[in-house]
Amino acid sequence: MEPVLPVVDRVYQLLLEGIGNGCWGGRLPSERQLAAELKVARMTLAKALQRLEAEGCVARSGRSRGRVVVANAQAVVEPKTRQWRIGILVPVEAEDEMEFWRIDRQIIMSSIMELGHTPCVAHMALSNDSPRLGRLEKLMDSMNADAWIVFCGPRVVLEWLDGHRHEPVLAWGGSIHGLRRIPAGGISIKSALLELACEFLALGHRRIVFITSRIHRQPVLSESLVAYRNVLSEAGIQLSDYHLPDWEETPEGLERLLESLFRLTPPTAIILFDEHYASGVLGFLSRQRLEMPDDVSVAVVGEVRSLAWYWPGKQLTGLQRNDDEFVRNITRWIEDQAFGRQATKRYLGSYLLARGNTIGRVKVDEPKRGA
């Protein structure tokens, strides 16, 4: 997919390139003439010129309020239009954890290259217990990157980056909230998750279990999970680890978790953070002869393609990624760095709630359990 910049940014870039290669020098044509030459609205051109003024590339001159290219404009422009080397730091702990991290990384690398910059990937163990910050600093220094995108970063690593590195850094996922300097990037499930939680509550569900990765629960809950818990609490549900369980993130650990959940007080609704969890959960429900949504409602973050294996004709309710918004946001951050623009605090896309036929009203009686 070809990333598309906003019109003002494209005009700004054309003007920068024209000044840099000598197409425009001395006194600039009038706004009316430039707008006609570039085939854009005059207001759009004016906004691009105002940005160039703020960066010292052009200046007002004389009573006519025309603009001239400043003497050192080419020196100002050149470093902003050069090719950037953008590092992508991937914790080895997350490398095989979730498919969407790999998809995100592929999209980001494609976006970097389509914009004329160079991506470089670095892998390192970044666990919260022993982040090895000295080794990380040496690794980042050796990569000689102009900017960094850090995937799924533990809190201690992001706080260190926030206070010790001079390069621009974008925290893509992980413990991203409350950082002083580093902007947050990613695709937030918050709004879609809250919509789903409210729908479960409206259908009478109280025993709602969210099975999610440890990185979103420790050392602090992610913003989306805090909001999810608040919605349940405001509905009068007494929260416990039951609603957001800790578990060993292996197929065997998932099986043990499900056996524990369904032993005494079976959940009436389950939310799965990763589509990979779905195969284990669907297999368990099938063996227990539990039906969706009659016995338990199920929703998943992502897309599950193997559902027909267990339940032909069923379509899982899910939180689906908005990839177009994702590409626009990552493109905007890359260009903000390359052109020296002030970065915003967030470059977040969103998920959308896609309703299937796997959620329904809770039964008054307890769900049946298999023999």
Angle, vertex CA 26, rays to CA 25 and CA 28, nearest 5: 80
Which amino acid would we find at residue 297?
S
Q: How confident is the model at residue 22 (pLDDT cuts 50, 70, 90)?
A: low
pLDDT value of residue 228: 94
Q: How confident is the model at residue 269 (pLDDT cuts 50, 70, 90)?
A: very high
Residues paired with residue 122 on neighbouring β-strands, in sequence order = 89
For 200-205, what is the mean pLDDT? Answer: 97
Angle, vertex CA 339, rays to CA 335 and CA 342, nearest 5: 85
Angle, vertex CA 89, rays to CA 86 and CA 95, nearest 5: 135
Place of tokens 């992980």: 174
End-to-end CA distance of the chain: give it in Å, rounded: 51
Q: How confident is the model at residue 267 (pLDDT cuts 50, 70, 90)?
A: very high
Based on DSSP, count helices (H) and strands (E) in the chain, helices before strands. 14, 12
For the chain, give the percent of residues with pLDDT over 70.
83
279-337 pLDDT, tens digit per residue, is: 899 899 999 999 999 999 999 987 766 566 666 778 889 898 877 787 788 888 888 87
pLDDT value of residue 371: 31
| Out of 131-135, 165-169, 220-224, 254-258, least confident range | 131-135
Question: For residue 296, which of 344, 337, 261 has the smallest C-alpha distance?
Answer: 261
> Under DSSP, is residue 154 helix (H, G, I), strand (E, B) or coil?
coil
68-106 pLDDT, tens digit per residue, is: 777 555 545 544 456 788 998 887 765 555 555 667 777
For 147-174, what is the mean pLDDT? Answer: 85
The answer, yes or no, to whether residue 146 has pLDDT greater than 70, is yes
For 60-70, what is the mean pLDDT? Answer: 70
pLDDT value of residue 208: 97
Average model confidence (pLDDT) across the chain: 81
What domains does the chain contain, in order, with CATH numbers? 7-80 (1.10.10.10), 84-182 (3.40.50.2300), 190-321 (3.40.50.2300)
pLDDT value of residue 312: 75
Cα separation values, 148 from 39, 56, 67, 161, Å:
36, 27, 36, 10
The answer, yes or no, to whether residue 257 has pLDDT greater than 60, is yes
106-125 pLDDT, tens digit per residue, is: 788 888 888 888 888 888 87
The answer, yes or no, to whether residue 262 has pLDDT greater than 50, is yes
pLDDT value of residue 156: 84
pLDDT value of residue 1: 39
Place of tokens 């809770």: 362
Beta strand extents in the chain (DSSP E only): 58-61, 66-69, 85-91, 118-124, 147-153, 169-174, 184-188, 208-211, 269-272, 297-301, 317-321, 346-354
Question: For residue 327, which of 9, 90, 111, 102 has the smallest C-alpha distance?
Answer: 111
Q: How confident is the model at residue 164 (pLDDT cuts 50, 70, 90)?
A: confident
For the chain, give the percent of residues with pLDDT over 90.
26
Contacts of 243 (CB under 8 A, 6+ apart): 208, 209, 210, 229, 232, 237
Question: For residue 112, which of 321, 333, 342 has the smallest C-alpha distance?
Answer: 333
Q: How confident is the model at residue 131 (pLDDT cuts 50, 70, 90)?
A: low
